[in-house]
Structure 1
Amino acid sequence: MTKHLDLGCGLKPRNPYGADATYGCDVRDIDLAVEKIGFDYKRVNLVVEPIPYPDNFFDSVSAFDFLEHIPRQMVLPNGEVSNPFINIMSEIHRVLVPGGRLLAFTPAYPRVEAFTDPTHVNFITDQTHEYFVGPQPSGAMYGFKGAFEVLQVRWEAPANVYDLNQPSWRKTLRRWHRDLLRGGMAHVLWEFAAIQK
């Protein structure tokens, strides 16, 4: 049985790879039984807490409009500096099986969408992913534990990511529409495979 985790899921977790079981984590309180919402939900503040699942548990993890809400650095009450963005990337790697997929989709610099929401505190670029990929990721100097292989990194239209099984011609038309009539793409897509360390 395949398992998928959607980070920042709210009441409607995404399951882009069509896994058999869907799990979700969010900071919100959801007061419904698992049977009523149809997925396993955990309330957790991933800025300061680990993903509440064991190592190598998920075949895939998604983060739709999530990473921009995770601070890059913060000072803890004891005066220590924490790197929540580095930590969440380590946690994602930890809970993925070797070869497991990460699909992340986030508004990115220099687009206004990256800055409009006052809760966006982590400004992603089309090069941010480089700290987490390859056999010796440079993010290790900041505490990143893991490594990912890049499957794809590109600017993408939201509707193309929410349904990965659309025909490629439809995705191409949507990209052209965004580029020509709507001022370009606002979101960066990361699709990675977890490298076993």
Structure 2
Amino acid sequence: MVALAQTPPSADRLRLIDESLAQAWADQVRHDDRLRGLAVEVRFDRGVAHLSGEVAEPGELRLVRDLVGRLAGVYGVWCRVGVGGREPVVVDLGCGPTKQWSGNLGLDIFPAPGVDAVADLSGSLPLADNSVDVLFAVHILEHLIDFLPLVDECHRVLRPGGVLHVMSPWWGHVNAVADPTHVRLMDVQTFKGICQLRPPGTPRWYPLHAGCDGASIFADLTPLPPDAAPAPPTHLARFFD
């Protein structure tokens, strides 16, 4: 269980953690034959791994994601990697003027530089079924009284193997309550509920990664088809109580 006294790492410590993670990943690549020849760049920023580049098939991307996520100190694994020569379709939800990558499609309720389409995220997303490879919901869910309809919409628009990246303030940090527009408190365990505790017939998710740095929570989720097996307990135990 996350302790109430958890303190976010300082900027200096995060910088050193990023350096340590970069060294650990370089060692992994040197000693793992499966990674040789893969054109994927992995950059670490405040404990979040940013993947870019291209792979030949989805299994290669899943391998890199899984191995990066196993490194101690990684809070999230964010990805913009092409597969089989196709550029990924990446959408920033509620992006405002800042996108996670400049080439992403930006959706927001208010027009602003960087917003490609105006959309109310509490309603239906103006995106076709199975049309998106990656969705970013960075500092969005805490602003919605009921965020489950948006999570369900994300499930609808993601392609098989697509990923929803979430970042929100952790409920135990002052940032969670300092902004009066925050209407929901979030924890890593919230995503256990999204993945395991929703009623039958609702969209199902598999948690690729989840973490908390003492200020923010991170979750990387991929949609499950209705007949897919749930995540095994050994996998869930990495992230959830």
Superposed pair shares fold, TM > 0.5: yes
Q: What CA distance in whole angstroms lies between the structure 2 residues aligned with 1:100 and 1:191?
A: 10
Does residue 187 (structure 1) correspond to residue 216 (structure 2)? The answer is: yes
1:116-155 Cα shifts (integer Å, max 9, x gaps): 100000111221012221xxx32236xx831111111111
Does residue 131 in structure 1 map to residue 193 in structure 2?
Answer: yes
1:23 corresponds to which of 105, 126, 136: 105
Tell me if the contact between 1:70 and 1:122 (Cα under 8 Å) persists in the aligned partners. yes
Residue in 2 that maps onto 1:111: 173
Q: Percent identity?
A: 27
Task: State the partner residue of 1:42.
Answer: 117
TM-score (norm 1): 0.65
Q: Superposition pairs for residues 26-105 of structure 1, below 5 Å?
A: 26-30=108-112, 37=114, 41-47=116-122, 49-72=123-146, 85-105=147-167
What's the CA shift for 1:88?
Answer: 0.5
TM-score for both structures, normalised by structure 2: 0.54
What stretches of structure 2 of length at least 5 have no aligned partner?
A: 1-86, 227-241
One-letter amino acid of the structure 1 residue matched with residue 220 of structure 2: E
Which residue identity is paired with 1:71? I
Instruction: Count residues in correspondence.
Output: 140
Task: Classify the secondary structure of the residue corresponding to 1:132.
Answer: helix
Question: Which has the higher relative contact order, 1 or 2, with Cα contacts under 8 A spaced 6 or more apart?
Answer: 1
> Could you tell me which residue of structure 1 aligns to residue 199 of structure 2?
140
Where in structure 1 are there 5+ consecutive unaligned residues? 73-84, 157-184
Cα contact 2:171–2:187 (8 A) shared by 1: yes
1:75 aligned residue: none
Q: Runs (4+) of structure 1 moved beyond 4 Å?
A: none
RMSD of equivalent CA atoms: 1.9
